[in-house]
Amino acid sequence: MALKSTIHKAALQIADMDRQLYADHAVTLALHPSETEERLLVRLLAFALQVPHDDHQGALVFARGLSDGDEPDLWQHDLTGRLLHWVEVGQPDERYLARACSRAERVTLYVFGSAAHIWWAGIQPKIARLSKLTVWQIPSPQAQALAKLASRSMQWQVTVQDGHVWVNSGDASLELLPQRLMGAGL
């Protein structure tokens, strides 16, 4: 019998001073059986950092990601169905990223983990030509600390200012400093 995904719910209060975005979002995430809580929470963080100001151009939604190789972790389609934004978490290969850039107007990748710098050194020359791609690294200790905030029901206050991200979850508070490796800013 196949293992089923575990459902997590998160209530996000976002105050992103860098983008002048102030919003509340209730999201439901599925933790795939092969996924770690660290990756799950980096996906949630990616949502908080990439969610648009409004849904007039379509909403940013969680896609099937790990369950379907043709879908990212998050994506935004406009009201005509055109793919505006492809958001991926992890360390995909250059063919996957090139395909994402050919399908979407904008692609954002969040990498994390202790081997991210090794992956980056190998892939960076191969993806340098992908002008639609922005790559961010969440430092490994910060991603691991983020994973400790995991629970089936989460309430996060996410504050972004000058590139610093603060996540407050009940009694726990965490400061993150995503590092841009390639592409446009936050």
| Structural domain contains residue 25 | no
Compute the average pLDDT of residues 120-144.
Answer: 97
Tokens at 97, concatenated: 């990223």
The per-residue pLDDT for 4 is 84
Q: Which domain CATH number covers 109?
A: 3.10.640.10
Rg (CA), the chain: 16
Give the structural domain span for 69: 37-152
pLDDT band at residue 185 using 50, 70 and 90 as cut-offs: low
Q: How confident is the model at residue 68 (pLDDT cuts 50, 70, 90)?
A: low
- Does 7 reside within a domain? no
Could you tell me what percent of the chain has a pLDDT over 90? Answer: 86
Average pLDDT, the chain: 93
Tokens of 43: 């996906």
pLDDT at 152 over 90: yes
pLDDT at 184 over 90: no
CA distance 184 to 133: 8
183 is a domain residue: no
Chain length of the chain: 186
Residue 92 lies in a domain: yes
Q: Assign 84 a pLDDT band (cuts: 50, 70, 90).
A: very high
Answer yes or no: is 9 within a domain.
no
Number of folded domains in the chain?
1
